Amino acid sequence: MDVEISSLATDITPEETIEVVYREELDWIEDKVTKGLSVLVECDKQLTTYLYRALRKRIKQSASSKSCLLISGHAQPEGMSMPQSRMQRIITELQNAIFSATDEQIITLPHLDVLTTTTRSGLNMETREAAALLFENPDATFLAFKDPSFELPKVIEKVFTVRRSIIGIAREKLPHIILQSEARKLGETHFNPFRLYKYLSGLNALRCREILSHLQGRLDYDERSPELLSALYTEIRQMTLVADVELPNVDLDKDIGGYAEVKTQIKREILDLLHSRESLSDPQEVKQLEELIPKGLIFHGPPGTGKTFFCKAMATALDATIIIVSGPELKSKWVGESEENLRRVFAQARRAAPAIIVFDELDSFASARGTYTGSGVEHSMVNQMLTEMDGFRQEELVFVVGTTNFMSSLDPALLRPGRFELNIHIPYPTEDDRFAILDLYREKFKLELSDEQVKTMARQTGGLVEANKATRYSGDHLYAIMRSLKREVLRNSQDYVIDDDLINKVINVRAPKATKLTDHERRVIAIHESGHAICAYFLPNCATIEEVNVAMDSTQRLGYLATASREHRYVTTKAELLDDICVFLGGRLAEKLVLGEVSTGAYDDLQRANEIARSMVEELGMGVKLGLRTFVSHQSGQAVLGGQRQGLAEETARELDQEIALIISEQEARTWALLESQRAHLDRLVDHLIEHGHCNLEMIKKLFKN
């Protein structure tokens, strides 16, 4: 991929730059207008004058008898008593040109976008007048220019038979506009121009020349001073930034704790491939490698797990800008404006390439078709997004990342190969991840915490933040905890000792007010949670216990049992479902065994146990008598658990209820027998919870060994 510096040009004019870089585009436009087709050219405003001059010169030198008639509004019309504005003069020139147009004239409108700028409430006066004029002569041939930043009314776009976008610069054209004096800043006798390309790919050729000309005053390349070359590329990167973009500084390994699997996937699928590309010398190999790199990604997972933060780390590794847009903010009630917002975002990213566009809350407008509840603009936005993604050059480094909490709700069209084909799950952090995250913030905030304290905090945050909402601790929660510890230190003194009581206080501070329990209430809750824990610990098909907790005075949660996710998350067996029912029944039956009566605390447990039994019989074909039949209907037509029971014959409904009752009664007996056989362990765990309030898996193992 290296180019010999002596083979480069020593000087190049703007006109020559346009001809070298956009020769194919100019040929195409010339061919269409000389055949009588009206052409709309979308390009940066900076290019308009030079493209027009190049086309006018070509048409004049061709065998065609065509000529260009420029509508610029420069001259003040003769005989006018009152001076006209520039827009009024353009309208006057356009009117005269259309009514006197011949087949040999190509009416050129370099400022069509400015003339026909719309307002949200409709078309302005000049636009209405221009729209009427453009349709007056159906035989007229138009050549018009539009900047990507401007929106054209649909009625104006219909005037043009064909449209050509000139955005960015093709990679193979870049060496032709780099001068020898500029290249010597990047290499001694040879240099790789394609290292520059990732920063210049989205810029027009004239803007590229402006940036390259800034290299003239720099020192020539010296292999003994590699830092000068690095600083030069950094300066070029800064010059290519545009407004409303961010150049993040987040190191994937140093600034993000834990999540080794996620980091490995990002490196393996994208970063390593891109870094290996720079070492290739065969253009064909480079092209093949670029076809392998996914340009669309989905980061999905619960809120607060760092999906956007991973995007910033990925951008930092690529030296890329990042544009974060909110799905709901893109929507507009005005027809066509939502799609225009998307076009503007993509155009901005291409100018600032390498770039990553992050669509936060992608599901807000890209939900599965048939589930839209808005005006229907979502369907048009999805189509526009896919069109923009398909329009990238393969060599352009522009990635599109969608983040969502609801992966299953996304439109399947987005997940096809070639679009958002790489899906990366960012789950709640494991205990190892939590330790790494807490350790990172310990260093950042300079907190005097021992490794053992950090390990304890990682274990304590393995459960639920809000038991009634099944919310687990995420990276955001851990960040908030460490910030709270730092505030406590600052309120006291730098020598303030962080003890376990303070850590417990900070971890449980999310509760708005303390829950005051009587001794009897605490004992009932301890018995209830111990019943769950005994079943989860001794039954062979249950998920591993992380923590069992009983409310202390500083927390609002009455108690909970937290378990880890099963190793196989996507396949659940009948044996596992039956053990889950036992765990849910364990709390109520423990109360009955120890106290001789039950409380209202088992309400939710009973609901969930019965729901599992119902699904087994009515949806999963796991009943005994009714066999492999299903008895539910789904409004969405998708086979997801939780459908409504179909209208059934009375006898069939009775058999279903009997099957469900049989499963519940059998698991009740099984749970009771287990609790009776482990009564000593149950009592020991109850006493521990009453005294300490919580118990993790290691503590449970120690208790049960005694």
**Residues acting as catalytic residues:** 529
CA-closest candidate to residue 613, choices 669, 670, 671, 659: 659
The CA radius of gyration of the chain, in Å to the nearest whole number, is 34
Q: Identify whether the C-beta of residue 14 lies closer than 8 Å to the C-beta of residue 50.
A: yes
DSSP state of 333: S
CA-closest candidate to residue 297, choices 279, 271, 319: 271
Q: Identify whether the C-beta of residue 184 lies closer than 8 Å to the C-beta of residue 221.
A: yes
Q: Identify whether the C-beta of residue 562 lies closer than 8 Å to the C-beta of residue 546.
A: yes
Calculate the dihedral angle through the C-alpha atoms of 421, 427, 430, 435, rounding to the nearest 10 degrees: 90
Q: Identify whether the C-beta of residue 35 lies closer than 8 Å to the C-beta of residue 223.
A: no
Angle, vertex CA 668, rays to CA 662 and CA 674, nearest 5: 140
Angle, vertex CA 111, rays to CA 110 and CA 117, nearest 5: 150
Q: Residue type for 199, please?
A: Y
**Distances in whole angstroms, Cα of residue 671 to Cα of each of 175, 433, 581, 684:** 76, 34, 9, 18
In order, the DSSP letters of 207-240 are HHHHHHHTTTTSPPP-TT-HHHHHHHHHHHHHHT
Angle, vertex CA 356, rays to CA 355 and CA 360, nearest 5: 150
Question: Other C-beta atoms within 10 Å of 360: how many?
Answer: 19
CA-closest candidate to residue 358, choices 314, 411, 408: 314
Calculate the dihedral angle through the C-alpha atoms of 201, 206, 210, 215, rounding to the nearest 10 degrees: 60
SS3 string, 110-162, reads CCHHHHCCEECCEECHHHHHHHHHHCCCCCCEEEEEECCCCCCCHHHHCCCCE
Q: How many helices (H) and strands (E) would you count in the chain?
A: 28, 21
User: 3-class SS at 472?
Assistant: strand
User: 3-class SS at 281?
Assistant: coil
Name 3's bridge partners: 191
